[in-house]
Structures are given as C-alpha cells and as structure tokens.
Amino acid sequence: MASDTLTVAQPAEAPAPAPTPARRKRVLTPIWLLLPAAVVLVPLFGYPLYQLGLLSVLDFGQPQASGGVPAAFVGLANYTELLGKSQFWEVLAQTLVFAGGCVVATLAVGGALAVLLTRVGRRSKLFLMFAALGAWAAPAMTGSTVWLFLLDTNSGLVNDILGMAGHNWMYDKWPAFAVVGAVVVWHSFPFVMITLYAGIQAIPDSVLEAARLDGASTFTTARLVMLPMLRPLLVIVVIQSVIWDFKVFTQIYVMTSGGGIAGQNLVLNVYAYQEAFAASDYSLGAAIGVLMTLILLAITALYIRALRRSGEEL
C-alpha cells in the first residue's frame, strides 16, 4: 500500500513593495540637484575628451595640422606603437612612483598640520592658515621658478645655508624628483590641511569625551573614533591628490628644463607634451592623454571599490 505523501505548501514570496512617492523623491532629488552642473560640465569636459579620443585614432602630424594633408584613420595603431615603446613603460613607472610619493607626503603633511591647528592658539592658527593659503594661491609657474632660484647651483640661498656651493640639485634623477616632489607637496598640502581641519572641528565634543571617559588613549581615539568619521573627507582628498599629482606638468617641466638630462625626469604629462609638440606627433600625444585618463579612472574606481568593501557608504 503506497504511503501518503504530505505536501507542505510553501508560502508565496511577498511582492516587492512598490516605490512610494517619498522614496521616489529621495532618489530623484539628488539627480535634479546635479542636473544644472551636469549641463555645464558634460559639454565642457565631454567635447575635449571626444576630440582627444578622435585624434588618438588618426594619423595627425605637422602636415595634417598645416592643412595640406588630410588625416587618415589608423585605428589603434598609435596605441600599439606607444605600448611597444620601452620608454613609455619606464615613464609610466616613474609617474606612478612620483605621484604615489607625492600623495603620501601631501596627506602626511596636511594631516599633521590639521591636527596642529587644533592644538595651537588663535594667533598661531591664523599665521599657519595664511602661510598655507599663500602657498596654495601661488601659481605653479611662479612657485616653481622661485624654488628653482632658491636652489640655484651658484647663488641659491639653500646651497649657501647648507654650505654646498656648486651643488646641482637637478643633476641626478631621484634627487631631482625629490626636490620637485617637495614643491608639489608645498603647493598641495593646504587643501588637505584645511579640509581635514574642518572635518576634525565637525566631530562632536561629546564623542571625544565619551572616548576619553572609556579610557581610550589619544592614539586609540584618533584611530578608532576620528579616522572612521573622517573617512568620507579622506576619500575626497586622496582622489583629488591622486588626480593632481598624477598629471603634474608645470613643476616638472620648469624645474627640470623639460624632463631632465636625457629625459631622466619625464612623467606622462611631460612625455605627452614632448611627443605632441616637440616631435609634432599630435596623435601619439593624444593617445598618451587617453591612457592617462583611463589609468586615473581605474585607480579611482579601485580605491572607491576597496572602501565600499570595507563597509564605507559613499
């Protein structure tokens, strides 16, 4: 005799709740607020990027720029030529090392001075802020020229103070990168300092007081309380610093006279300039620009993804 089979009815899955007007408004409001900026920024950045990409797939040199010869479509030939050059990979590695060092140094200096601002008196705070804003406001060309004058081989103030008359700071590859990097940090740290100082000031005193009452040390409070609350600001300053330092041009070009001896201090931006305007290979220079944009987008995407995996809402 066959045994009866007991069938248990499975409850049907509840349908997804329909979006309420309040939820729909919460989603659409940021889009409407960003729309005016998008109307201005998308054409402003989109059209040059389109032209850059178009130029990178053409054979466009001085004859084409003069209008005598039409530009021919070559597809990915410029990228193939560029990726086959050992100089490109060397310059890319130098750019990554240089930019990474500048980002770390900028965050360290800006973060330390932001903490210092919370500890000093009113007059010292104003003096430090004005000095930092002066460095920030100085044009890159002007700041680079002034520092180059201070580091002059024969009459520079730095050599006189250090007793190193006749020393050329720009002769060797990595010392030259270090000097230029210091100037880049000098231009960049005020943004980090002021941003993080504003974030520290926004942390409620009750939170810090509760940490102290729980017996947390200053280091523990900074690591477990302040840093998590400052993480959204850190995301902003890190991404901004990566973009700024990866595409440094003026400081390198001015202080190393176009890339250093035999091009030993080239970075991608200066390399693109040399290929486009010194060698009159505009399409190859455009290809370098496109690759720089893709690298920056990839670095930013990886950084944001890592933060999302760590649980930070962005």
For residue range 236-284, list pLDDT tens digits in order.
888 889 889 998 999 999 999 888 888 899 999 999 999 998 888 999 9
Q: According to DSSP H, which parts of the chain are helical? A: 21-56, 62-65, 77-83, 86-117, 122-137, 140-150, 157-162, 173-202, 205-213, 218-221, 227-246, 250-255, 268-273, 282-309
Angstrom CA distances, 117 to 67, 123, 147, 188, 190, stand at 58, 11, 26, 17, 12
Residue with token string 């000097």: 179
Query: Sorting pLDDT into bands at 50, 70 and 90, what band is 1?
Result: very low
Of residues 177 and 312, which shows the higher confidence score? 177
Distance (Å, whole) CA 189 – CA 184: 9
Query: Mean pLDDT, to the nearest integer, of 214-222?
Result: 79
CB under 8 A, 24+ apart: contacts of 124-129: 129/194
**Which CATH fold would you assign to the domain 87-309?**
MetI-like fold (1.10.3720)
Query: Sorting pLDDT into bands at 50, 70 and 90, what band is 3?
Result: very low
- The residue ranges of every structural domain in the chain are 87-309
**Percent of the chain having pLDDT more than 90?**
39
Query: Mean pLDDT, to the nearest integer, of 196-214?
Result: 85
**Out of 64-73, 133-142, 169-178, 263-272, least confident range:** 64-73
The pTM (predicted TM-score) of the whole model is 0.82
First to last CA, the chain: 64
Query: Mean pLDDT, to the nearest integer, of 216-232?
Result: 81
The values of phi and psi at residue 104, to 5°, are -60, -45
Mean pLDDT of the chain: 85
For residue range 104-155, list pLDDT tens digits in order.
999 999 999 998 998 888 888 899 988 888 888 889 999 999 999 999 988 8
* Three-state SS letters, 82-94: HHCCHHHHHHHHH
Residue 209, pLDDT score: 82
Residue 185, pLDDT score: 95
Residues 6+ apart with CB under 8 A from 200: 114, 115, 118, 226, 230
State the CB neighbour count (10 A cutoff) for residue 77. Answer: 17
Distance (Å, whole) CA 295 – CA 281: 22
> Rounded to 5 degrees, what angle do the CA atoms 82, 86, 89 make?
75
